[in-house]
A = this chain, B = another copy of it.
Amino acid sequence: MRKVVVTGCPRANLGDVSKLAEFGVATVHEAIGRTGYLGPGIRPVHLGSRVGGTAVTVVCWPGDNLMIHAAVEQCRPGDMLVVTTTSPTSDGSFGELLATSLQYRGVVGLVTTGGVRDVAELHAMHFPVFSAAVSAQGTVKATAGAVNMPVSINGQRIAPGDAVLADDDGVVAVPRANVGDALSAASARAEKEEATRAALRAGQLGLDRYGLRAVLAQLGVEYVAYDSGRQGP
């Protein structure tokens, strides 16, 4: 790992990122070809928020949050801090004091593969956090890492400046260069979903709308009436 803080990273357009966030994580994830999802292990500590920002990425040593402090200085309004570690940890490397600094700088939220603490205070501050754990266990500030180098979470690459969207379904990352396309795709998908929703509300079956009866038949799925002799184990 290079020990480096990269400064002056370009960001995705904040207006586009905000619009994209409104579509929700699941819709965007679908719209961009099912990439960028950070997995079911990263969850909102409190349900009910939907937020998007541009990534400032951090790699820390487990049990150490030195590089988060270095990252704060690199943050601008509209950023989302994205923290990972060189090996798994649940330690609470982030709490309300760091959130205070981030709010001062206009940061919209935190995503971390580790733990957070002061979660009651963070909730009161309206600062959304998406993490793998909550832990009061503190960290030290003794080991180098990196800020604004690309990271991978759940097999998904996040570069500084990429769009990072989070809601009750988790977190999805969209490469900076693809935000425009993602916006179009998400918009198209939302429209299509709205039409589907209307049809389903009116009673149409997915079996018919998506042409799945043919798929079932081709796969050899049989329909058997319950009372047509013995039906199961």
* Chain A residues within 8 Å of B, Cβ to Cβ: 1-10, 24-26, 29-30, 33-35, 37, 39-40, 43, 46-48, 50, 61-64, 66, 69-70, 72-73, 84, 86-92, 95-98, 100-101, 104, 115, 117-121, 123, 133-138, 140-145, 148-153, 155-157, 159-160, 167-170, 172, 175, 193, 196-197, 200-203, 205-207, 210, 212, 215-216, 219-227, 231-233
In the complex, A34→B196 CA distance in Å? 35
Residues of B within 8 A of A48 (CB): 120
CB distance A157 to B157 under 8 Å? yes
CB contacts (< 8 Å) of A140 on chain B: these are: 61, 142-143
* Stoichiometry, copies per complex: 6
Our pick among B72, B121, B197, B200 for the contact of A206 (Cβ within 8 Å) is B72
Given A149-B233, A150-B233, A200-B104: A26 in contact with B225 (beta carbons within 8 A): no
**CA of A1 to CA of B33, assembled, Å:** 6
Q: Which of B70, B120, B137, B172 has a CB less than 8 Å from the CB of A87?
A: B137
